Amino acid sequence: MFMPVGTQGTVKGISPQELLEIGSQMILGNTYHLMLRPGEQLVAAHGGLPGFTAYPGPFLTDSGGFQVMSLGHMRKINEEGVTFKSHLDGSMVLLTPERSIGVQEALGADVIMAFDECPPYPAERDYIQQSLERTIRWLERCQAVKSREDQALFAIVQGGVHQDLRQHSLDLTLPFGTPGFAIGGLAVGESKEEMYPAVAFTAARLPEGKPRYLMGVGHPEDLIAGIALGVDMFDCVYPTRTGRFGYALTDEGRLNLNSSAPRRQLEPIDPECDCYACRHYTRAYLAHLLRAEEMLAPRMLSLHNLRYLHRLVERASRAIAAGTFQQWAQVWAERYFQQAVPAWFQAALAAGASVEAPA
Amino acid sequence: MFMPVGTQGTVKGISPQELLEIGSQMILGNTYHLMLRPGEQLVAAHGGLPGFTAYPGPFLTDSGGFQVMSLGHMRKINEEGVTFKSHLDGSMVLLTPERSIGVQEALGADVIMAFDECPPYPAERDYIQQSLERTIRWLERCQAVKSREDQALFAIVQGGVHQDLRQHSLDLTLPFGTPGFAIGGLAVGESKEEMYPAVAFTAARLPEGKPRYLMGVGHPEDLIAGIALGVDMFDCVYPTRTGRFGYALTDEGRLNLNSSAPRRQLEPIDPECDCYACRHYTRAYLAHLLRAEEMLAPRMLSLHNLRYLHRLVERASRAIAAGTFQQWAQVWAERYFQQAVPAWFQAALAAGASVEAPA
């Protein structure tokens, strides 16, 4: 499944009713953003994220670790946790494994994530090793302090793009036996040629019967490559962000509604799509809304892009069930990449063929 | 009825499905904006505004006259029409009665408006008189050039805040026998104490059996005062604009969700409201969205405010049907104005009592 990202307690511009209509299953909430504003206690006073956001659930919350690294200023990492300066008011905040779990228990998601460090790319090998070992000690503290029985804590495997460090992280993480495992530390700036071997290596060594979650990914091609390699869960701000910029996802690649051609096109973004925008609007109308800076444009393009990714996963799932995933993915890719399917994608599909479960 | 304003082919942030759900009847489109961008021919290629915007109708379009006055630069008015500089690309555009009707026929609304001049406030008496007489000659040209039988052309009564000039305009306009009449030239800067006597005077002299449309109005109190005086139709950007700024309309006045108190309030904007926002969200959640500058905030507040005005008109209509409008309006006003009902509102209600049709 692809999880829409509701950073600040809302998937930007989209109502819960619309999320249900387009087939969203689980929504991601951000611990870092919500603890800083409005504060987890206000969310808890609403009975957690479902009451606060009116999305009836389920939810997953991240641990805050990734945002501390990408948004926090003046951060200092030590064994205790991470001290950082809030991007909102400049106050100094300490986020620890204990605090992360406390916040996530207050937010009340169904799946919560262990507090980890996601090292930047590139990073020194030695640093990645020290960091992943500390992340394991933090995982231990997360498990120890976790008090709600109705929340599933997922561990996160780190190790950058290095196979031996991924193996080291797996060796230390798998014994915790958490109900799901995430592949972290990727899609942070490395090339696809570096990223996918790391995904393939890690996903193949995670337990068959538990969800594998590739964090912060991705684009349509990333979903297909990830699914080929055995990934079950994805999240990314990409569909809503690129929609706000005027881009629409289709099987033929990304359509730029800011360009001049769509202004005269009386067909929908995608005649095969069943979203509200495709059922009601022409490209010309949506291009007009964009030029006129009308709010309905980012709203409708976000909705379409989310529906595109949900539908893509649904189609992949049907192909897997029918035992035709490899062929389906190949046909999809040739159309999507306009005949120029990149080597990394072909390699991911090929690597996936060997791990694909028999129908 | 209150008509939401869809200036550029969309009621800002709101989908057609939502408009139907909240009880919108007719949507207003702007000739000036749509002729400049995307151009009326593109709208016509969609089969008119219903096809372009996906709102199944009905629509009303204004004549462009008001926007030429308020948005066009370097405008020159003469007998032929108005020449102005486009606010979009600086090109010089000539809008005439013939061109206005041509554009409105291409846009395909059910109700179209005669091309008029709305003089600024304040304006010289002499200028208002010359202007209203020219508006009559323009009305004649509009009627002469109008070719579609499926569109109703409404005339607009001008005359500023001067009773004798209103009478003069009425004398010249009524003989045209158009299927509806608008009261124009008000809500342009004059005080309520000047505006409402002009509304009362004009509305009372318009035919009983045809719709009376008070253009560009208004706030909740304006709808009630206008209804008291016999007005049938209103339009205004106020509910969506004030919603985008974080204000919610309620029977107890305007609620500022930017202030600090709502941030902790776990009740809806208005427990009596049946809009999506009031059925799903607390004030605290909406206040959070506003502070976080999330798109869902202006969307939901616009939706609520439109529903508030639609519901207000529905309540007024029920009270009229029950013969209790005066009492109902008095009770509403005492709550809305927090006991300090202004004299202009009381005067409008009192003036309305004498013209109110028996139940």
The CA distance from B235 to the nearest CA of chain A, in Å, is 19
The interface predicted TM-score of the complex, written ipTM, equals 0.97
Q: What is the pLDDT of residues B190-199, one digit of tens each?
A: 999 999 999 9
Note the pLDDT of residue B73.
Answer: 82
Tell me which DSSP letter residue B311 carries: H
Q: Which of B13, B266, B282 comes nearest A296 by C-beta?
A: B13
My answer on whether B214 and B329 are in the same domain is no
Note the pLDDT of residue A104.
Answer: 98
- A348 falls within a domain: no
**Does A350 score more than 60 pLDDT?**
yes
My answer on whether A82 and A121 are in the same domain is yes
My answer on whether B228 and B301 are in the same domain is no
My answer on whether A30 and A112 are in the same domain is yes
Report CB contact under 8 Å: B294, A263.
Answer: no
My answer on whether A253 and A125 are in the same domain is no
My answer on whether A126 and A143 are in the same domain is yes
My answer on whether B21 and B168 are in the same domain is yes
Is A142 annotated as contributing to ligand binding?
no
Report, as an integer, the average pLDDT of B226-250.
98
Report CB contact under 8 Å: A276, B17.
Answer: yes
Cis amide linkage into residue B226, ω under 30° from 0: no
The CA distance from A131 to the nearest CA of chain B, in Å, is 32
Q: Which of B14, B54, B48, B56 is nearest to A281 (CA)?
A: B54
Q: Work out the percent of chain A whose per-residue pLDDT is above 70.
A: 98
My answer on whether B201 and B287 are in the same domain is no
Tell me which DSSP letter residue A358 carries: P
Note the pLDDT of residue B355.
Answer: 57
Report CB contact under 8 Å: B38, A295.
Answer: no
Is A63 annotated as contributing to ligand binding?
yes
My answer on whether A178 and A318 are in the same domain is no
**Domain final position from B186, B212, B236:** B236
Q: Which of B259, B246, B256, B238 is nearest to B289 (CA)?
A: B246
- B349 falls within a domain: no
**Domain final position from A180, A202, A236:** A236
The CA distance from B284 to the nearest CA of chain A, in Å, is 8
**Which residue of B290, B295, B303 to mutate against A (max A Cβ within 10 Å)?**
B295
User: For this structure, is A235 an active site residue?
Assistant: yes
Domain boundaries, position B307: 237-340
My answer on whether A207 and A281 are in the same domain is no
**Domain final position from A236, A268, A298:** A236
Strand order in the sheet with A212-214: A2-3, A233-235, A212-214, A181-183, A152-157, A111-113, A59-61, A27-29, A5-6
Q: What is the pLDDT of residues B78-117, one digit of tens each?
A: 999 999 999 999 999 999 999 999 999 999 999 999 999 9
**Does B359 score more than 80 pLDDT?**
no
**Does B53 score more than 50 pLDDT?**
yes
Residues 6 or more apart whose CB falls under 8 angstroms from that of A128 comprise A119, A158, A159, A160, A162, A165, A185
> What total number of domains does chain A contain?
2
Residues of chain B in contact with residue A52, where contact means CB-CB under 8 angstroms, are 282, 285
My answer on whether A216 and A159 are in the same domain is yes
My answer on whether A210 and A331 are in the same domain is no
Is A81 annotated as contributing to ligand binding?
no
Cis amide linkage into residue A58, ω under 30° from 0: yes
Note the pLDDT of residue B301.
Answer: 98
User: For this structure, is B235 an active site residue?
Assistant: yes
Question: What mean pLDDT, rounded, does chain A reach?
Answer: 96
Domain CATH number, residue B16: 3.20.20.105
**Which residue of A42, A87, A289, A306 to mutate against B (max B Cβ within 10 Å)?**
A42
Dihedrals phi, psi of B57, to nearest 5 degrees: 95, 175
Question: pTM for the full model?
Answer: 0.97
Helix (H), strand (E) at residue B353: helix B343-355
Q: What is the pLDDT of residues A65-111, one digit of tens each?
A: 898 888 878 899 999 999 999 999 999 999 999 999 999 999 999 99
**Does B171 score more than 90 pLDDT?**
yes
- B308 falls within a domain: yes
Question: What is d(CA A278, CA B48) in angstroms, rounded to the nearest whole number?
Answer: 18
- A352 falls within a domain: no
- B359 falls within a domain: no
